[in-house]
Amino acid sequence: MSSIVRVTDSDGRGIEFVNELAAKGSVKDVFFSPDRSYVVALYREQQTAVLRDRLLTIVQRYRRQIFQNEGGEYWKSLFCWPESLLEYQGRLGVKVPAYADSFFFRHGSQQNDSLLNIQGKEKQGKWFATAMHRRRYLDPRELGEWRNYLRLCIQMARAVRRMHAAGLAHSDLSYKNVLIDPISGRACVIDIDGLVVPGKFPPDVIGTEDFIAPEVVRTRHVSTSQRILPSIATDRHALAVLIYMYLLYRHPLKGHKVHDADPNIDNALMMGERALFVENLTDRSNTLVPSKLTEKERQWCMPWMDLEKIPYTVTGPFLSPLFTRAFTNGLQLPQERPTAGEWEDTLVKTADLLLPCKHAGCTQKWFVAYDARPLVCPFCSAPYQLSVPILNLYSRNFQNRFAFDNQRLVIHSEQMLYPWHCDRGIVVNERLSEQARRRVGYFACINGTWWLVNEQLEQLADITLDGQPKLVRKGEKLELKSSQRILLSNAEGGRLALVQML
C-alpha cells in the first residue's frame, strides 16, 4: 500500500509525494504529489557535490533569471522548469510542475488505442514527427492542422532562444524532451535539470539519436580532449531538425545514400562526417528515391517522402533559406546555423502566409501561399479557386521613403490585422503587450470582393492616387484592389501595404 512521504526542499517548504513509482526515466524515478499538481523526480545515481551544485544552480540562479524578470510568467507555459531541490533516503531529487493536460493523449492510437496503449500518456513529439508514426498509428483526432505545427515550432524556438540568451544549452533537444500538442499548437521544453552551463557544468549526455550534431557524432569515439560536446551550437542543429520534421514529417539527413555495408558505421557516417541534406540542390546523392522505398514506406509515408511532390520549399520563401543554411554549410560549420531567434522571427512571418485549403479531405488544412497562380495545396493537390489578396508591407527608411520589409500578409476569411502588421517597431514575442495582441481590423469577402474593415486604426487611408488620400474611419471598410497602396499608420515605423491579387 502506498504512503505519503514528506520532505523539506531547498526553499524550506514542505513537499509531499506518493511513495509509488509513477514513471521511470533513464536516470530518474518519478513520483506524483497527492494532488498530482507536481512530481518529485529522484535520481538513481549516487549523490555527488557536482550534481547537487548543478541542480541548485538551475533551480535557484537560473530559475530566478528566467522567471523573475519581465515576462517571467509567460515562460512557465513553455518550460517545465524544476522548482526546488530535495533529498530523500540519500537520493537527490527535484520538484517539477506537472505537465498541462493538453500534453497528454486524449484518444491515443488507432482502433480505440489497442495498437499502442498511449491514451493518457504524455505526447512525446516522436509520434508526430514522421509520416509513418502519424498515419499508421495515431488516432486522426490527435494529429491537428499544419498551421498548429507552425505555431508550436514558434513556441519551441522562442523557448530555446530564451535558454540561449541566459547562456544555457539544453544538450538533448529532441522530440523526447519537447512535448507538443498539435491540437492547440503548444510546445513545452522538459528535462531542464540536465542543462549545460558553459565553463561550469558539462553535459551529462551527448543527445538523442537523429538530433545529435554532426561534429558530436564525428568525434564521440575520439579521446576526451578532442571530443566536441553539446553546446548552444549543437542545440541549433537539433532545433533545425525538429522544425523540419514537424513541418515535413521526414528526417533531413536520412536519404538513400549508402556509406558502408555495416549499418552502424553507415549510420554514423550519415549523421556525422558525411552528413548530407536529402534536398541538397548541388549534391543529390543522398536524396530520397521513391522506387527504393519499402512497401510499408510507400503505404504510410507517401507523399511526404517524395521530394519532388513535397519539397522543403513548400514551407515558403522565408523558411526555405533557413533550412538551406542549417543543412548545407551549417552541417559542418556550426557558426553558419540559424539561431533560435532567427527561426522564431521567420516562423512568425511564415504564419502570415498561410491559406486554408478548401478541400474537405485535406489532412493538413493549411498551406503557404506562393506568389503564383494558380494556387494549389501542395499536400492534397487541390486548386484554390478564390482570388487571394496579399498585402506587401513597407515602412519608411532613413531617406523617408517606403522600403519593402520582406514581410507579407496573405488574406483569407479568418485573417486579422494586428498592430504588428501596421508598425515595424512592434515585435511578436513574449514582451507583446495585451493591447498589441488585440486586432485592429479584419478581412471579409462579399460576393467575390475583398474588403478590409477598420476597427481601431486612426490613420488608415487609401493613398493610391497621389495627393488624394481617402481616409477610412473606424467602422468603415475599404475594398482591396490590385496595385492599391494603403497607409496603415503614419507614425514613426508605420507601414504602407501594397496590394497584390493572386
Q: What is the DSSP string of 424-465?
A: TT---STT--TGGGS-SEEEEEETTEEEEEESS-SS-EE-SS
CA of residue 403 relative to chain centroid, distance: 30
The domain segmentation of the chain, as residue ranges, is: 4-98, 103-108+121-352, 386-501
State how far the Cα of 475 lies from the Cα of 455, in Å rounded to an integer: 5
Q: What integer pLDDT is reported at residue 134 of this predicted model?
A: 95
pLDDT band at 251 (very low <50, low <70, confident <90, very high): very high
Q: What integer pLDDT is reported at residue 373 of this predicted model?
A: 66
Q: Which residues of 240-261 are buried (b: 16+ CB within 10 A; e: fewer)?
A: bbbbbbbbbbbbbbbbebebee
Cβ 409 vs Cβ 389: under 8 Å: no
pLDDT band at 145 (very low <50, low <70, confident <90, very high): very high
pLDDT band at 1 (very low <50, low <70, confident <90, very high): low
| Cis peptide bond N-terminal to 214, omega within 30 | no
Evaluated on CA atoms 154, 41, 26, 172, the torsion sign reads positive
Chain-wide mean pLDDT for the chain?
92
Is pLDDT above 90 for 199? no
In CATH, what class is 386-501? Answer: mainly beta
Radius of gyration of the chain (CA): 25
The secondary structure element, H or E, covering residue 16 is strand 14-18
The alpha carbon torsion through 468, 471, 477, 479 (nearest 10 deg) reads 20
In this structure, what C-alpha cell is assigned to residue 216?
558530436
Is pLDDT above 90 for 330? yes
State how far the Cα of 210 lies from the Cα of 19, in Å rounded to an integer: 35
Q: What is the mean pLDDT of residues 303-308?
A: 95
Considering the four listed CATH numbers 3.30.200, 3.40.1350, 3.40.50, 3.30.40, the one that applies to the domain covering 4-98 is 3.30.200
Q: What is the mean pLDDT of residues 360-368?
A: 95
Is pLDDT above 90 for 269? yes
Is pLDDT above 90 for 192? no
Phi, psi for 114 (deg, rounded to 5):
-75, -20
State how far the Cα of 228 lies from the Cα of 222, in Å rounded to an integer: 9
Q: What integer pLDDT is reported at residue 292 of this predicted model?
A: 92
pLDDT band at 178 (very low <50, low <70, confident <90, very high): very high
In this structure, what C-alpha cell is assigned to residue 335?
557558426
Q: What integer pLDDT is reported at residue 467 of this predicted model?
A: 64
Q: Is 377 helix (H, G, I), strand (E, B) or coil?
A: coil
Q: What integer pLDDT is reported at residue 299 of this predicted model?
A: 94
Question: Per-residue pLDDT tens for 369-410?
Answer: 977 667 999 999 999 888 899 999 999 876 678 899 999 999
Q: What integer pLDDT is reported at residue 445 of this predicted model?
A: 94
Q: What integer pLDDT is reported at residue 218 of this predicted model?
A: 92
Cβ 280 vs Cβ 221: under 8 Å: no
pLDDT band at 129 (very low <50, low <70, confident <90, very high): very high
Q: What integer pLDDT is reported at residue 372 of this predicted model?
A: 67
| Percent of residues, the chain, with pLDDT higher than 70 | 98
Cβ 314 vs Cβ 353: under 8 Å: no
Q: What integer pLDDT is reported at residue 386 of this predicted model?
A: 83
State how far the Cα of 455 lies from the Cα of 472, in Å rounded to an integer: 10
DSSP state of 289: -
Q: How far is CA 83 from CA 68, 141, 195, 223, in A?
A: 13, 34, 14, 36
Is pLDDT above 80 for 478? yes
Is pLDDT above 90 for 157? yes
The alpha carbon torsion through 193, 199, 204, 210 (nearest 10 deg) reads 100
In CATH, what class is 103-108+121-352? Answer: mainly alpha
Per the model's pLDDT, the better-predicted residue between 125 and 468 turns out to be 125
Q: What is the mean pLDDT of residues 446-467?
A: 91
Cβ 207 vs Cβ 214: under 8 Å: no
Residue with cell string 537539433: 238
Nearest CA-CA partner of 343 in 272, 246, 408, 250: 246
Q: What is the mean pLDDT of residues 204-232?
A: 85
Q: What integer pLDDT is reported at residue 274 of this predicted model?
A: 94
Q: What integer pLDDT is reported at residue 281 of this predicted model?
A: 93
Q: Is 378 helix (H, G, I), strand (E, B) or coil?
A: coil
Is pLDDT above 90 for 143? yes
The answer for residues whose C-beta is within 8 angstroms of residue 360's C-beta and 6 or more apart is none
Cβ 158 vs Cβ 78: under 8 Å: yes
Of 109-118, 199-208, 289-298, 455-464, the poorest mean pLDDT is in 199-208
Residue with cell string 467602422: 475
Is pLDDT above 80 for 364? yes
The alpha carbon torsion through 160, 166, 172, 175 (nearest 10 deg) reads -20
Q: pTM of the predicted model, to two decimals?
A: 0.95
In degrees, to the nearest 5, what angle opens at C-alpha 59 toward C-alphas 54 and 61? 85
Q: What is the mean pLDDT of residues 259-264?
A: 91
Spell out the alpha helix ranges (H) of 48-188. 49-56, 63-67, 72-75, 110-113, 131-132, 146-165
Is pLDDT above 80 for 246? yes
State how far the Cα of 214 lies from the Cα of 348, in Å rounded to an integer: 28
DSSP state of 31: E
In this structure, what C-alpha cell is assigned to residue 391?
498585402
Of 35-39, 186-190, 263-267, 384-388, the poorest mean pLDDT is in 384-388
Is pLDDT above 80 for 205? no
Question: Per-residue pLDDT tens for 230-242?
Answer: 899 999 999 999 9
State how far the Cα of 424 lies from the Cα of 201, in Å rounded to an integer: 40
